[in-house]
Amino acid sequence: MNLRDIVTKTRSYRRFDESYKIDYRTLESLVGLARLSSTGGNRQPLKFMIYNTPKDCEKIFPYLAWAAYLTGWHGPERGERPTGYIIILGDTSITDIFGVDHGIAAQTMMLGATEAGLGGCIIASIKREELRDEIGLPDKYEILLILALGKPVENVIIEEIKDDDVKYWRDDENNHHVPKRTLKELIIK
Ligand SMILES: Cc1cc2nc3c(=O)[nH]c(=O)nc-3n(C[C@H](O)[C@H](O)[C@H](O)COP(=O)(O)O)c2cc1C
């Protein structure tokens, strides 16, 4: 796949084949991509937690909120849940200012996931304090983002935006449609 194909394929997937196991090394290699990514002032304040066992994945899942625009759908059912997570943390013993580092790291890892035949979703809507208690996270770490990963079982279709409506939607066959603004709209000069 060339870069454009990888970027195009790197959609947000929220339904997975839960029988598919992601090995630890694969997730570790994604963190290896984050390690090589740009970081403000070269401070490198991000730390990571990797989860890939069914027991651990079950622990993380309840603290995440899925697809706010799909009202009536409260996230993947059993059998379609993620089989790996990477929690992106900010280490406040290094800095309190994480800037856009976690966004860069998240997308870089998502691109790597696509290359590895996986898919997933960047999750910011997290019950942070409850999750902190669940995983016994020391105070010096801030939970910034979570990547929920797995073998996608859904089809995501990019649409040209209509009537300025940014809401993604699902059709009768459960295909997920995601509207994108046109290039013409984005480039203002
Ligand atoms: C910073 C960030 C936070 C996000 N948080 C959530 C989230 O909490 N829950 C969720 O289901 N999707 C979340 N998403 C996924 C977006 O909804 C998704 O990127 C958007 O609908 C566009 O779809 P696409 O990623 O396929 O282009 C997040 C994406 C980003 C970049």
C-alpha 90/C-alpha 3 separation (Å) is: 28
Pocket around ligand 1: residues whose beta carbon is below 6 Å from it?
A: 11-12, 14, 65-67, 121-125, 156, 168, 178
* Atom from ligand 1 closest to the CA of residue 180: 27
**Residue 37: predicted pLDDT:** 98
Q: How confident is the model at residue 116 (pLDDT cuts 50, 70, 90)?
A: very high
β-strand pairing of 156-160 with 176-180: parallel
**Residue 34: predicted pLDDT:** 99
Pocket test for ligand 1, best of 13, 122, 159 (most atoms within 8 A of CB): 122
Summarised one tens digit per residue, pLDDT across range 54-64 is: 999 999 999 99
Q: What is the mean pLDDT of residues 27-43?
A: 98
**Residue 45: predicted pLDDT:** 98
Q: How confident is the model at residue 171 (pLDDT cuts 50, 70, 90)?
A: very high
Whether the CB-CB separation of 42 and 180 falls below 8 Å is answered with no
Summarised one tens digit per residue, pLDDT across range 23-32 is: 999 999 999 9
* Atom from ligand 1 closest to the CA of residue 68: 11
Q: How confident is the model at residue 133 (pLDDT cuts 50, 70, 90)?
A: very high
* Atom from ligand 1 closest to the CA of residue 67: 11
Nearest CA to ligand 1 atom 7: 123
**Residue 46: predicted pLDDT:** 99
Nearest CA to ligand 1 atom 17: 67
C-alpha 49/C-alpha 24 separation (Å) is: 11
**Residue 104: predicted pLDDT:** 99
Q: What is the mean pLDDT of residues 40-45?
A: 98
Q: What is the mean pLDDT of residues 142-163?
A: 98
Q: Which residues contact 52 (CB under 8 A, 6 or more apart)?
A: 21, 22, 23, 24, 27, 83, 84, 85
What are the helix (H) ranges across 12-90?
24-35, 54-60
- The whole-chain average pLDDT of the chain stands at 98
